[in-house]
Structure 1
Amino acid sequence: MKHILFIVTSTNVTGTGNHAAGYEFSEIADPYFEFVNKGFAIDFASILGGEPPYVGYDPKQQTSKEFIEGNGFKRLNFSHKLSDIDVSAYDAIFFPGGLGLMTDMVDEPRVKETIKNTYENNKIIGAVCHGPAALLNVTLSDGSNLLEGKKINSFTEAEEKIDGHTLGDVIPFMLDEELIKQGAMFYHSKPFEPYVIVDDNIVTGQNPASASGVAKKMIELLT
């Protein structure tokens, strides 16, 4: 059995306007069922441990409703503290999006070390929407930046504008711009259309509609 660690934000506000933040609910629920329905084991970790904050729950989304009523959500709400986890025990790590992640994972040393070790041990890294913010500022053992020359995508500036995510008040930076600054080759589709890209052992998806697609590509790589 393959084991996957979901790494989740612990931040519940974002921007100077102190807007509600956390993980985007469907970006955990949708991949969770893709993985468990294929026999994968899922654990949850967050920066602080315990109950991570979330936004965007929609009871009309069937997978979200099933997740919030099931054991997965109960286990998520007792998430492990990332610093207490031996990440080498996992075959893959996955970063669901949500604006909170743009605050607590961009420079967090444990996150950087986790990504570096996972990548260098040829294990799988997945991230969706704002999740690729976790991939910023990762220095590999040879001194290079993880993102240099990698095909990557994430939530785009166009999507931020449609959602009214203004710089400063809501988001600390434009994620696509920062990924490009660190050497990523940025690919994207039209706003809010599913889009997933794979480069070596890194899988990234553009937006909430891409979350299941990221999980499916990770499953392909893991099997």
Structure 2
Amino acid sequence: MARTNRVLIALTSHDKLGDTGNPTGYYVSEAAHPWQVFRLAGYEVDYVSVKGGNPPTSGYDADDEVQRLFLESEGARLAVTPKAAELDAADYDAIFYAGGHGTMWDFPTDADLAELGRDIYENGGVVAAVCHGPAGLVPLVLSDGTPLVAGKDITGFTNSEEEAAGATHIVPFLLQTKLEELGARYHLAPDFTSNVVRDGRLVTGQNPASATGTAQGVLAALKG
């Protein structure tokens, strides 16, 4: 594929943590730290969200300089994100599904986002996801009808981590279990430690600690 030097970060639009009444959204560090990796490597970063507009945030750490810089410098663009149907896969070298519990509700049901990811991958691009971001891989089916993750080495938020987070009975499904049911070979590290798995042009990270490494894995995959 002809390189565009553009990477797309996908963000959830879901803002409620099940029936708990607690807010959720995309986990800021899982967008901010990859953004930092990509921009320092010379890539232009764009954003997409399920509903468009300004996606909800969660887990913001004001003591993290990268997160502060991300929201300050990208805030105007984040406020007007497009929906997947408004974008062209040919414009991007990679798509990066950021996590946050919100993804568990809306990534799996966004057919346009799944189609965008499929087209980027089938154009020779990279598909990446971190933490709960692999919820975006659940509906991603290749043109031959095969789930992208089938037979692939991947990782993502684990059942053990979901239990530790107290959300096992809140989320609509367990991410690890669902991806394993789709044929993925799921690789686990100890809870909340960095773990990045690359299988060709599919790169996944287990948790927030894996966000930077997952983005670095995208760069490696783009180099072949």
Could you say which TM-score interval applies, normalised by the shorter chain? Answer: over 0.9
Instruction: Supply the AA of the counterpart residue of 2:142.
Output: L
TM-score normalised by L of structure 1:
0.94
Matched, 1:172 2:175: no
TM-score normalised by L of structure 2:
0.94
- 2-structure distance, mates of 1:177, 1:132: 12
Q: 1:128 aligns with which of 127, 130, 138?
A: 130
- 2-structure distance, mates of 1:193, 1:111: 29
- 1-structure distance, mates of 2:45, 2:37: 11
For each residue in 1:118-156, what CA deviation from the matched residue of structure 2 results, as whole angstroms up to 9, or x when unmatched? 222220011000000110132222222221101110011
Alignment check: 8 A CA contact 2:26 2:58 kept: yes
SS in 2 for 1:218: helix
Instruction: Supply the AA of the counterpart residue of 1:14.
Output: L
Aligned to 1:210: 210
* 1:178-217 correspondence to structure 2 within 5 Å: 178-217=178-217
Over the residues paired in the alignment, what is the CA RMSD in angstroms? 1.3
Q: 1:74 aligns with which of 76, 80, 83?
A: 76
For each residue in 1:24-50, what CA deviation from the matched residue of structure 2 results, as whole angstroms up to 9, or x when unmatched? 010011111111111100011111111
- 1-structure distance, mates of 2:89, 2:67: 27
Deviates more, 1:86-95 or 1:123-132: 86-95
Matched, 1:19 2:22: yes
- 2-structure distance, mates of 1:202, 1:60: 31
Aligned to 1:51: 54
Matched, 1:64 2:67: yes
Alignment check: 8 A CA contact 1:137 1:145 kept: yes
Q: CA deviation at 1:7?
A: 1.1
- 2-structure distance, mates of 1:137, 1:34: 27
Q: CA deviation at 1:211?
A: 0.3
How many residue pairs were aligned?
A: 220
Shift >6 Å, 4+ stretches: none
Alignment check: 8 A CA contact 1:47 1:83 kept: no
SS in 1 for 2:108: coil
Give the % identical residues.
38
Aligned to 2:115: 113
Aligned to 1:28: 31
SS in 2 for 1:105: helix
